[in-house]
A and B are shown apart, each in its own frame.
Chain A
Amino acid sequence: MNKNTAKRVVVTGLGIITAIGESIPTFQKALFNGECGIGPVSLFDTTGFPCEVAAQVKIKDLKEFFGAKGIKRVSRCDLLGLIATHEALLDSDLDSERCSKKDIGVVLGGGAGGMLSWEKYRRTSWLKKTKARPSPLLSIAQCTLTDLIASRYRLTGSRATISTACSSSATSIGYGFDLIRSGVHEIVITGGGESLSELTFAGFNALRLMDPEYCRPFDKSRRGLSLGEGAAILILEDYESAEHRGATIYAEVLGYAINSDAFHMTSPDPEAVGMSRVMTKALETANVSIDKVDYINAHGTATKINDQVETKAIKRVFGEKSARALAISSTKSMVGHCLGAAGAIETVATVLALSEQVVPPTIHLENSDPDCDLDYVPNNSRAQEVRIALNNSFAFGGNNTSVVFGRVQAQKKKMKSQK
């Protein structure tokens, strides 16, 4: 693409629902207070698993959110996603009338989609006691949330769902960035949702990748990840369009890269080649020098190998000395690993770090690990200058994504009343 005609891409709306907060204000407060959302799971029986806990969204009935009109035949993942979308569009001051007039794209990342609905159906038919109702099966695909958002807000632009496990929704932000930068769309809705499911819960347990208590990223005594659920939606917009309509600008998307370890289905390459190359490539496409980077929202799953290899990769990209000057945190320590939604949730955390100039902490970090010897902002958030921030997501299959964000000072936070 011609660099001179490439558009600038900014974030003009945020929406979120997680175990530690069900809206941007509550999430932000919990994020900077270092609250932990990991606890008992009520969605299905976890008795007997090596790890029985996860970061489940606390609201009892998600359908209540949709008021008297209600909502039918929607999976838990889609409910979470629609709640976050509602907030993001409102935040971006895009009502349904405005939405339908613009050719808005929807590009999301998906993990297990409506797996929980399929599991209920399958369990019932396997037990053969009662006949299972088939209607929930309509929404089992990863892309159902993408389609639901488009139909609810009458969006006729590009439609895509990326499904690369834990890096899905981070890549969706990258693709949304491409579509705006190249002039295909002015506005793209990005992000993703994920609900806990027996499949992923049993899967990570079977692989012995889960900490029985709670995940403790970068800690010497870490024993694995904690799963989480939630959704995050980010409205990406052409800078000129955002300026023109006086939208709130949270941060700028500067670039991204995706690549493959081409190494192993579940293990990262111990030499950290893929992880370091993806960060380097992302910084190159963003055209920023490494000394401007102040914060990295790490993948930081709290598995023995991920945290060690990610640390190695960061050192390789930034050099030992500069790596030590970075603030790095794993917000998974608070919201758990939300798989398909992880990249989007962590992007919201990254964007808030830029707009608030506060870096979120890594909680449960008590004992330092000689293999993880960088500044992981242990246990307490920190007010500091954040100019450029990076968000890392590394998935099963060796699918790596790194997205680069920049602070937008002058335009930040116009009061809504001034519009």
Chain B
Amino acid sequence: MIDIAITGIGVISPLGVGREAFWENCRKAKTGIRKITSFDTSSLRSNIAGLVEGFDPRQFMPPSSYRRMSRISRMAVASSVEALKDSGLILDSVDRERIAVIMGTSYGSSSYVEDFYISLLKDGPRGAQPFLFPETVPNAPASHIAMFHGITGPNTTFCQNEISAENAILYAQNLLLQNQVDAALVGGADELSAMQYSCYDAVGALNKIKVENDEPINPKLGDGLILGEGAGVLVMERLDFALERNAKIYGILRSGVITGGITSVGHYEVEGKQMARAMSLVMKKANISPDDIDQINVSANFSSELDRMEHNQLKRIFRKPTKNLPVTPLKYLIGDFGGAGIIRAAAIFLSLYHQLPLPTVSAEILKGDSECSLAWNVPLTGKIHIALMTTTTFGGGSTSLVFTKS
């Protein structure tokens, strides 16, 4: 079994721009969920999301590079710049064909889809804006990363709703294990747009909260998901490659599994059998038992179907009262999007590296009972060797990943 090391992290998130800011706010369980100001929400039933604020692409690349990029591509490239710098990997000293760029996103640049289509509706067949169209392909962010760094190795993009980034991690693992590449920039990215937000609103999937100003937002447990946006990139490499170049190692990807849940479109798997199977399989592959796990990172996003299912399956697998089971639902702070898995993984690796625990809630909260309220616990110390990250998406599909300190 070849181990895969994580050696670089870049994050552009609702909890802060850049790895350090993200980690600081993450540790405090500070929320990144705010009122949307970037588009008109007056006709919608909700107006909040996990928003990236204060992102200036100039801090990461020259304006000539991002001039033609959509917001999602800018965030993705920026996080790749930060991750690569953090890893100490000098591209000029390696074979660029042996580096992969693998991304996950739910919808790519949905704002450019909307802008392009509106230009067609307004100005007719001869008036549609040509420069918007190429950015509408979901692989645009990964392509921009490749172009920006001159990386010519394997390059692909996964769109699998809420497990898009997890799919990217698993495909990168596949390339590394086959020795097709020495390292991979593995990322997830999504941008919040009027197009995507209004679709979620129209089908009634969102947490119905409208805020006026900057008052504190208290999402209702189990009332519907809260969308978010952001980008993250991890540098993943084969452990031998990382050791040879004396890289700083955040942690190890020990094992990963994906399973398919059976459900109807727009819904989560009903009981969560396949979610539980992914967790059991990943522990078996990593040769660990539930008692070995120091940190459980869940994909709960305020939707009743998902959060309750995670609650039920955690109770079964960990065989203890969920009151006493601390879990980290990071999407409660950053919102939900296809690329969120990378940001959740980044939080876990920072926690493993600094040996500082992530904020937790009692798994009881996930039940969404009205008597429970969302209360974060911020542990100050604690040894963390093994972390489990579980993700389930609507449409079916669950991933489980085990990360370790060494």
Interface residues of A (CB under 8 A from B): 1, 46-50, 73, 105-106, 110, 115, 118-119, 121-123, 126, 132, 134-135, 137-144, 146-148, 150-151, 154-165, 171, 175, 178, 182, 198-199, 202-208, 257-266, 273-274, 277, 285, 395-399
Chain B interface residue count, CB cutoff 8 Å, equals 74
Q: B228 an interface residue at 8 Å Cβ cutoff?
A: no
14 new A-B contacts at CB < 8 Å, known A141-B159, A147-B397, A397-B142: A134-B199, A139-B265, A158-B259, A159-B260, A163-B139, A163-B157, A163-B158, A199-B116, A259-B153, A260-B151, A262-B150, A263-B147, A399-B143, A399-B155
Across the interface, do A161 and B260 meet the contact criterion of CB distance under 8 Å? no
In the assembly, what is the distance between CA of A1 and CA of B174, in Å?
A: 9
Across the interface, do A199 and B117 meet the contact criterion of CB distance under 8 Å? yes
A143-B134 contact in complex given A123-B121, A159-B397, A259-B152, C-beta closer than 8 Å:
no
In the assembly, what is the distance between CA of A188 and CA of B202, in Å?
A: 34
In the assembly, what is the distance between CA of A46 and CA of B126, in Å?
A: 11
Q: B372 an interface residue at 8 Å Cβ cutoff?
A: no
Interface Cβ pair total, 8 Å cutoff: 226
Across the interface, do A110 and B265 meet the contact criterion of CB distance under 8 Å? no
Partner of B157, one of A154, A155, A162: A162
Residues of B within 8 A of A121 (CB): 202
* Interface SS of chain A: mixed
In the assembly, what is the distance between CA of A274 and CA of B120, in Å?
A: 33
Give 7 closest A-B pairs by Cβ, nearest first. Answer: A397-B143, A203-B133, A134-B202, A260-B155, A147-B395, A206-B130, A48-B125
A272 to chain B, nearest CB (A): 13
Interface residues of B (CB under 8 A from A): 68, 96-97, 101, 106-108, 113-114, 116-118, 120-121, 124-126, 128-130, 133-140, 142-144, 146-147, 149-161, 163, 167, 170-171, 174, 177-180, 195, 199, 202-204, 258-266, 274, 277, 395-397
Residues of A within 8 A of B202 (CB): 121, 132, 134, 137
Across the interface, do A163 and B159 meet the contact criterion of CB distance under 8 Å? yes
Partner of A262, one of B134, B139, B152: B152
Residues of B within 8 A of A202 (CB): 116-117, 120, 125, 128, 133
Chain B residue nearest to A205 in the complex (CB): B125
In the assembly, what is the distance between CA of A115 and CA of B116, in Å?
A: 13
A159-B258 contact in complex given A1-B177, A143-B159, A182-B174, C-beta closer than 8 Å:
yes
Across the interface, do B262 and A165 meet the contact criterion of CB distance under 8 Å? no
Across the interface, do A259 and B158 meet the contact criterion of CB distance under 8 Å? no
Partner of B146, one of A115, A148, A158, A398: A398
